[in-house]
Structure 1
Amino acid sequence: MNRSGKVVAAASQETKTWRDPTNSNIFEQSTGDIWSATGVVIKKCLASSGLDPRAVKGIGFDATCSLAVTDFDGAPIVVTKGYNLGQHGERNIILWADHRAEKEANLINGTGSIVLDYVGGKMSLEMEIPKILWLKNNMAPELFSQCQFFDLPDFLTYQATKDSARSCCSLTCKCSYVPNSGWQKDFFSQIGLGELSDRDYAQVGVREGEQTLIAGMPVGNGLSEKAASELGLLPGTPVGSALIDAYAGWMGTVAARYRENGVLSDIVPSLEESGHRLAAVAGTSTCHIVQSPEGIFVDGVWGPYKDPIIAGWWMNEGGQSSTGQLIEFMLTNHPAYQELVRVAKAQQTNIYSVLQETLERLRVEHGVDSLTELTKDLHIYPDFHGNRSPIADPRMRGSIVGAELDNSLVNLAKTYHATLMAIALQTRHIVDTLNAAGHAVTSIYMSGGQAKNRELMQLFADVCRMPVVLPADSDGAVVRGAAMLGRFAADAHSRARATQAKRLWDIMVEMTAPGDVVAPSCTPKEARLLQAKYNIFLETIAIQKRWRAEMEGACGTGADE
């Protein structure tokens, strides 16, 4: 991207994810594979743009909040359970979606530590400390002591610069680094990771008293000779302190001006306005990020985190563990899915157009005013992969009420719409929880592939009763945020913390293209139906908890709620 945010060149490269066919909780990747792919795409971008590497003034990284494990020379350490756990080998990332560390997370959540106050009261098994504890519990002690642990975004800046400086974003959001007080020695001793503090936190990269880097601040002396050669860039090219991908998506969306009915607003957004804009960064899962000038504690929602992006500001992060993944699952596991694919191919269109056309035809045939009324008796609860927020319970599971003995394309279309509805209702649950705790969210800024689904975006606006702003480039919001980090790192004054907030926000405004507004548009009747759907959604949560407690009581284990 250039300084105005225009995409000069783009490229992509597949990366590997390993799954265990006997354990659905396992997701693993490789830093070597990801770094190699990074070099491939950068070289493709340089070639397609015709730019000389000297034209690249800065580089930024984002990545998923996954645990990367190396030795102290940066060589990968295997994280796969088995005889070679802790040895050198390719599979050295425990992906965010990996749920192997449930026992460790339960132990952590029983400590009452202050670290829990900054993750909504309950630590997710998707975070890094439960995963590190799992490795400690399953790895030979002499091998564990040789491990260096990174949140994946920080590994990429380490690989680029050989400087082990860590980002405030990764440490505070995923690694139990408490705002204003740092590492908690008593906490690590209590859970069995006392050796981290005994070694002055060398294994997690920031020693007692050292500063973390706020977003975009330069890492070390820029690209090392080796990394520059691997990426096709110049040694010393500035590297900005990295962000978790969802936070980069926040950067790439919330500073946008917007068009309403084709008319561009003349209001230039201020940093203060950002506190009313929720970024919903959607992909396999969805993250919901909002910032505030003061820390706001929200039960079941991660944070408040201080300085993850903007110096002096706090952030909360809600999330849905499965959204894009849930839509795909509901479609591909329905008996009529192959029929849907065949029809779409015959009509030379995509499956989503076929589904929407089918739903609209059904609406007319049934003489109802909306698709909400068409599917009023079909209720899906979406936590097929546990609840990230605001319940913060990985044991929550999905449910379908109103299922019919019907395996037709018509039934698939209804199921599809009910799935979109479930995702929208859960989004409202998160927004309502944030606002009840003290936030003042008045709009949602979308990014990711789901922003292309206009029907889903209209549901978000109608269900949440607020406008949804769609970015000019829905797929590019996250990498746009990373590019902003690179630009900030190249700024001659980027090492000054005192001016970071204003300088970074100005870059965000300059590099973010205007978005389009989807306003709430439901009729009073549909609004009543949507409210009834939401009431049932909340009741479903209470029912599931009550049923779980009853079954555990019958097993003699007692209620766990």
Structure 2
Amino acid sequence: MTGRASSSGQPCYIGIDVGTGSARAILLDAAGETLSSYAQATKTFRTPADSRIFQQSTQDIWSAICLCVKKCLSEAQVDKSRVKGVGFDATCSLAVVDTEGKEIDVTPNGMTLAGAGGEVVPNIILWADHRAEEEASAINKTGHKVLEYVGGTMSLEMEIPKTLWLKKHLEPSLFSRCQFFDLPDYLTYKATASPARSTCSLVCKTSYLPPGVAGSTIGWSEDFLSTIGLGSLAETDYAQLGGIPGKNGLILTAGQPVGAGLTDQAAEELGLLPGTAVGSGLIDAYAGWVGTVAAPASNEPESQKVSVGGSKHRLAAIAGTSTCYCVQSEGEQGVFVEGVWGPYKDVVFPGFWQNEGGQSSTGQLIDFTIETHPATPQLKLQAEKEGTNLFSLLDEILVSLQKRLGVPTLIHLTKHLHLYPDLHGNRSPLADSSMKGLISGLTLSSGPEDLALKYLATLEAIALQTRQIVEKMNKSGHEIDSIFMSGSQAKNATLMQLLADGCNVKVLIPEGGGSTAVVKGAAILGRFASEVAEEVKSLTSQEQANELGWSKRDRLWQMMVEMTKEGYFLYPRATGSEKKLLDAKYQIFLESIDVQRRWKKLTEEAIVS
């Protein structure tokens, strides 16, 4: 927990972020000053019988959220009457409840999940869950035009393949009673009892095309959903997914007020006042974009003058368990990038588009490299004795090794060690969940120096794949010249410099290292909702929501400017042999893709023959 006492009577705003392994809340004032923050671990249910399965529980997550909010208020000594708005963001996970809001267990039949049981129902299929591989493959074979707006290939991490899996595995009568929510939308539903959905969740994860895009009139493509086996959703005008805007559904852009604010029950559980404004939520990656891209840089004064349109040069990287890369563009048509999700219209600002690239495993990959190495227990013990942390110790080992071997840079230590990072499949730009990891340059070493080298090779691989994504985006029409970091990895100085050098772009390190950028983005949504709610008590029509979205979009950007703290730019510094070596390792990285695919084809042909 962090916090500072506040006796002022000024308005405050709460941001709530639900990540892969924890929920957290932050309390901000209108200037973006942090009054307090608190995080609480959440449960993920796995099974040794199937490594593809990742499930969570909305009950467990909501309990963690309530604890975090109450802790924030207590720590900052802030009365609940000062909290004027609440915003949510979360992972793009599928939450399933019935028409009454009761949790539906989504565990595969006959499977037991470790830690599940009792009253906690595992009703969330986490983003990382890969059970819907066959469904995603079948969807992509249709070649439907809807797929053009997800980079040409729908990921098995999205909600439609998972919904199709449930269609196949739930009793038909139960499936017909289900409501399917992307997790950010479930949280606003839980808080307000309003089934209104966010444009962000529907467009990015649920095959929704806003009216006017590619001939769409109602948002949903009956032809697409019928073709893939979800035609029954049309029988209730897609109410299970959120409905048709202006008919039986209300679709809101970022931060617009949901319902009449907090219900009596939700307010009591959170420790807040009933009616407190709740902003339409965002997927965590886009909350990171909101909480990052308006930041000025202390070492580049001109960066303070960027408008919402000028943000097109800034790629927001939200780096935690996985990494998402979001960039905005404007115009009649978005930018189409093969293998990169989008273009997504209106997901944050009405009239603008977003593209989202990503790496399925980054922080998770770093942890895997460390935790599976035989030298890790020894180094953990050493770090504890020396009062430091494992990452600092690994950096010290690398610097010491560089001096002892007399090489000019750290990269020269791994000149013959190459790692390809897709241990959990490729999200972008290959959009191939079947990709696996590769490593070349192994020796019989197994001590601390070997761990440090493999750790460095892992960071290099993450940076080189980022370069691949940035290059693909720019070749397709984007104009990215900087990466704005958020998430836990922003504190890894070695990785940040590798990103700058490997991608040859400047990297903004946010205030505080970036660990709160996402949840601060959610708090900005809460403030925006509170201001809009002062003018209109609740949004009840789609026409009203659309008009307010357009009329207030510049105000949302201004709030981002006002509430985002100053960071600093890290610039590329690789020259000479270091730059040539990075370029060479990038070529090896690209060749690793071709090699893996060629090997896979050879073995599959051998089995068939």
Give TM-score, length-normalised by structure 1: 0.97
- 1:394-427 deviation per Cα after TM superposition (whole angstroms, max 9, x unaligned): 0000010001111111111111100000000000
From 278, 283, 290, the counterpart of 2:327? 290
Q: Give the Cα–Cα distance (whole angstroms) in 2 for the partners of residues 290 and 441 of structure 1.
A: 8
Q: Quick one: which amino acid aligns to residue 270 of structure 2?
A: L
Q: Determine the structure 2 residue equivalent to 1:97.
A: 128
Q: Determine the structure 2 residue equivalent to 1:37.
A: 64
Q: Give the Cα–Cα distance (whole angstroms) in 1 for the partners of residues 413 and 291 of structure 2.
A: 37
Q: Give the Cα–Cα distance (whole angstroms) in 2 for the partners of residues 487 and 95 of structure 1.
A: 28
Q: Give the Cα–Cα distance (whole angstroms) in 2 for the partners of residues 135 and 88 of structure 1.
A: 22
Q: Give the Cα–Cα distance (whole angstroms) in 1 for the partners of residues 566 and 349 of structure 2.
A: 21
The answer to which of 150-159 and 362-371 deviates more is 362-371
From 177, 191, 205, the counterpart of 1:146? 177
From 257, 265, 268, the counterpart of 2:305? 268
Q: Give the Cα–Cα distance (whole angstroms) in 2 for the partners of residues 69 and 308 of structure 1.
A: 22
Q: Give the Cα–Cα distance (whole angstroms) in 1 for the partners of residues 64 and 378 of structure 2.
A: 36
Q: Determine the structure 1 residue equivalent to 2:477.
A: 438
Q: Give the Cα–Cα distance (whole angstroms) in 2 for the partners of residues 303 and 60 of structure 1.
A: 24
- Within a 5 Å distance, the mapping from 1:526-537 to structure 2 comes to 526-537=578-589
Q: Determine the structure 1 residue equivalent to 2:364.
A: 325
Q: Give the Cα–Cα distance (whole angstroms) in 2 for the partners of residues 206 and 285 of structure 1.
A: 31
Q: Is 1:422 matched with 2:461? A: yes
CA separation of 1:160 and 1:459: change in aligned 2, threshold 3 A: same
CA contact 2:144–2:224 (8 Å) conserved in 1: yes
CA contact 2:295–2:304 (8 Å) conserved in 1: no
Q: Determine the structure 1 residue equivalent to 2:568.
A: 516
Q: Determine the structure 1 residue equivalent to 2:450.
A: 411
How many angstroms does 1:266 deviate by? 6.8
The answer to which of 359-368 and 479-488 deviates more is 359-368
- Within a 5 Å distance, the mapping from 1:113-128 to structure 2 comes to 113-128=144-159
Q: Give the Cα–Cα distance (whole angstroms) in 1 for the partners of residues 96 and 241 of structure 2.
A: 10
Q: Determine the structure 1 residue equivalent to 2:236.
A: 199
Q: Quick one: which amino acid aligns to residue 523 of structure 2?
A: A
CA contact 1:256–1:515 (8 Å) conserved in 2: yes
- 1:254-306 deviation per Cα after TM superposition (whole angstroms, max 9, x unaligned): 0000022xx75573221122100000000000000001003011000000000
- 1:200-249 deviation per Cα after TM superposition (whole angstroms, max 9, x unaligned): 10111122644410000010111111111111111111100000011100
Q: Quick one: which amino acid aligns to residue 330 of structure 1?
A: T
CA contact 1:331–1:337 (8 Å) conserved in 2: yes
Q: Is 1:485 matched with 2:528? A: no
Q: Is 1:57 matched with 2:68? A: no
Q: Determine the structure 1 residue equivalent to 2:102.
A: 75
**Count of aligned pairs:** 554
Q: Quick one: which amino acid aligns to residue 608 of structure 2?
A: G
Give TM-score, length-normalised by structure 2: 0.89
- 1:120-143 deviation per Cα after TM superposition (whole angstroms, max 9, x unaligned): 000000000000110111111111
How many angstroms does 1:12 deviate by? 1.5
Q: Determine the structure 2 residue equivalent to 1:448.
A: 487
How many angstroms does 1:88 deviate by? 9.5
From 186, 209, 220, the counterpart of 2:223? 186
Q: Determine the structure 2 residue equivalent to 1:161.
A: 192
How many angstroms does 1:500 deviate by? 2.7
CA contact 1:76–1:88 (8 Å) conserved in 2: no
CA contact 1:311–1:500 (8 Å) conserved in 2: no
CA separation of 1:235 and 1:306: change in aligned 2, threshold 3 A: same
How many angstroms does 1:362 deviate by? 1.1
CA contact 2:60–2:120 (8 Å) conserved in 1: no
Q: Determine the structure 2 residue equivalent to 1:9.
A: 36
Q: Determine the structure 2 residue equivalent to 1:345.
A: 384
Q: Give the Cα–Cα distance (whole angstroms) in 1 for the partners of residues 358 and 498 of structure 2.
A: 18
Q: Determine the structure 1 residue equivalent to 2:204.
A: 173
From 238, 244, 248, the counterpart of 2:277? 238
CA contact 1:183–1:208 (8 Å) conserved in 2: no
- 1:61-86 deviation per Cα after TM superposition (whole angstroms, max 9, x unaligned): 0010000000011110000012699x
Q: Quick one: which amino acid aligns to residue 481 of structure 1?
A: G
CA contact 1:277–1:290 (8 Å) conserved in 2: yes
Q: Determine the structure 1 residue equivalent to 2:14.
A: none
- Within a 5 Å distance, the mapping from 1:454-465 to structure 2 comes to 454-465=493-504
Alignment RMSD (CA, Å): 1.6
CA contact 1:75–1:88 (8 Å) conserved in 2: no
CA contact 1:149–1:203 (8 Å) conserved in 2: yes
How many angstroms does 1:312 deviate by? 0.7
Q: Give the Cα–Cα distance (whole angstroms) in 1 for the partners of residues 240 and 250 of structure 2.
A: 16
CA contact 1:280–1:289 (8 Å) conserved in 2: yes
Q: Give the Cα–Cα distance (whole angstroms) in 1 for the partners of residues 176 and 231 of structure 2.
A: 12
Q: Is 1:280 matched with 2:332? A: no
Q: Determine the structure 2 residue equivalent to 1:255.
A: 294
- 1:441-498 deviation per Cα after TM superposition (whole angstroms, max 9, x unaligned): 0000001111001111000000000100011031110110000000000113585122
How many angstroms does 1:523 deviate by? 2.2
Q: Determine the structure 1 residue equivalent to 2:12.
A: none
Q: Give the Cα–Cα distance (whole angstroms) in 1 for the partners of residues 535 and 200 of structure 2.
A: 21
Q: Quick one: which amino acid aligns to residue 487 of structure 1?
A: R
For structure 1, the residue ranges without an aligned partner over 5 or more in a row are: none
CA separation of 1:542 and 1:236: change in aligned 2, threshold 3 A: same
Q: Is 1:28 matched with 2:55? A: yes
Q: Quick one: which amino acid aligns to residue 550 of structure 1?
A: L
Q: Give the Cα–Cα distance (whole angstroms) in 2 for the partners of residues 519 and 206 of structure 1.
A: 47
Q: Give the Cα–Cα distance (whole angstroms) in 1 for the partners of residues 273 and 385 of structure 2.
A: 50
Percent identity over the alignment is 56
Q: Determine the structure 2 residue equivalent to 1:388.
A: 427
How many angstroms does 1:89 deviate by? 6.3
- 1:503-541 deviation per Cα after TM superposition (whole angstroms, max 9, x unaligned): 110000000001111111112211100000101101111
CA contact 1:258–1:514 (8 Å) conserved in 2: yes
For structure 2, the residue ranges without an aligned partner over 5 or more in a row are: 1-27, 113-117, 537-544
Q: Quick one: which amino acid aligns to residue 81 of structure 1?
A: P
Q: Quick one: which amino acid aligns to residue 224 of structure 1?
A: T
- 1:364-412 deviation per Cα after TM superposition (whole angstroms, max 9, x unaligned): 1111101111110000000000000000000000010001111111111
CA contact 1:269–1:509 (8 Å) conserved in 2: no
CA contact 2:245–2:251 (8 Å) conserved in 1: no
Q: Give the Cα–Cα distance (whole angstroms) in 2 for the partners of residues 323 and 476 of structure 1.
A: 18
**What secondary structure is seen at the aligned counterpart in 1 of 2:197?**
coil
